[in-house]
Amino acid sequence: MEAMGNAKPTRLRVWAIAASCLVLGLPMLAFFLQIYAKRTEERRWEEMRLWCERAAQEAATRDSKRPVLRGEALEGNAWEDYDKAIASLGSTKLNPAESFFFKSPDADRAKTLEVVRSHATALEALRRGASRGSASRKPEWERPSGSSANKPYLLALLAACKSRFLVEEGHPLEAMELLLAGAQYATDLARNSGDLDALNAQSVLSIVLGEMRGLLEPGILGREDQAELARHLKLLDERFPTEADYYELSPVSTGFDLLRKGSLQEIRTSMGISDPIKPTWRYGFSDRLVLVDAFQFQLSCCRQMKTAAGKPWKDAREIFTQVAADGRSSKNPLLRQMAIISEKLSDSRPRNLFRETRAQLRLMRMLAVYRTEDALPTLQDPFGLHLRSSITSSQIRMWSVGPDGIDDGGNGAWDVRKSADIVLNVNR
């Protein structure tokens, strides 16, 4: 009985000691976990910085020489001229030129002509730059300037409006030369560039190719001139920027952007996100670990999409769809918010701006060849097997099946956002 009486106090003392250890140990455990999380954060943050710096240095060492689209190459660096062209735009918004280019009801031809004439130096610098034999540019990865974010778009508008005036004045070859200079600028802009420059390059290509399409209307260019345009379009097709280039460097611009902002609050402010984004226990309640994890996710996605760039669109689209699904299901709070924003800003169809613009280029190339050789070339459709056509006594219709991969028989428009097929339709 006495042994049994002593057992209860002993058990109480054991529980008391265990409770004391637990009370004292939990703060110690939290302290050491905090130290571990902090060291992990510092290590992974520095690893991200080193990766971005190495990738930027590798991009800067690439060969800057490239052939020109028209004429003999001039000595010098194209970007010295391009930068002058951009700088000469100043704070001009070019609203008249935009309305004139898109043929808005309120377009004012006289005001547009005045704007174009006042920016003759910018267009001349664009021509010179496109004629240079090299294009060496070092993007400001760490401290990009947002002051010229829309200037490539404005420069393309100027070139397109000027070319339209040249056609009206009876100088279609000069118009073609200027538009080809704009296309060369776009390809130079897309090389060794980050996210913003790649999007700017797409906008420039969309504008200059859209205006160049008008040169293929009957009575604008002679047979020999159209043959020359076909040759230039072939060269442009061969040197066309690819999505693989973009996906290789996209993580660099993203990584430097995350390093520069450094916190979830800064990211929210820059992206206009109103919902709070809080780091969870998965990330040691650390903003930086959330950002590093988001960077690693994008790096992995870009590697997958770079692989997809070389595949047929059907296979590439499946990869894009899976990558988007992975972002939506991610445990990372920042990635989930970005997936929500992406869904709100885009339609449900997987798209690829590079393939869309290349499809438009090849449609024009096919038409130019047909007008000069009276025979249709077989050109690959970036979204399918080959480009399609329908030719009647009065019209020529050529089309790509577009991002949905379905042939709708040429039912669509030039602008893929407004149609199923991507269609080039001109009078015969």
pLDDT grade for 281, boundaries at 50, 70 and 90: confident
Q: Are 137 and 188 in contact (CB under 8 A)?
A: yes
What average pLDDT score do residues 308-315 get? 90
CA 412, 418, 421, 424: dihedral to nearest 10 degrees?
A: 60
Digit-coded pLDDT (tens) for 64-104: 888 888 888 899 999 999 999 999 987 767 788 889 999 99
What is the per-residue pLDDT across 320-331, written as a single tens digit (0 to 9) for each? 888 888 888 888
Q: What is the pLDDT of residues 354-373, one digit of tens each?
A: 899 999 999 999 999 999 99
Residues 285-297: tens digit of each pLDDT? 888 999 999 999 9
Distances, alpha carbon 103 to alpha carbons 23, 25, 100, 272, in Å: 75, 74, 5, 33
- What is the pTM (predicted TM-score) of this model? 0.84
CA gap 314, 346 in Å, rounded: 20
* d(C-alpha 122, C-alpha 116), whole Å: 9
Alpha helix positions (H), 191-263: 195-212, 223-238, 243-261
Q: What is the pLDDT of residues 179-214, one digit of tens each?
A: 999 999 999 988 877 777 888 898 999 999 999 999
Indicate the pairing of strand 388-391 with strand 421-427: unpaired
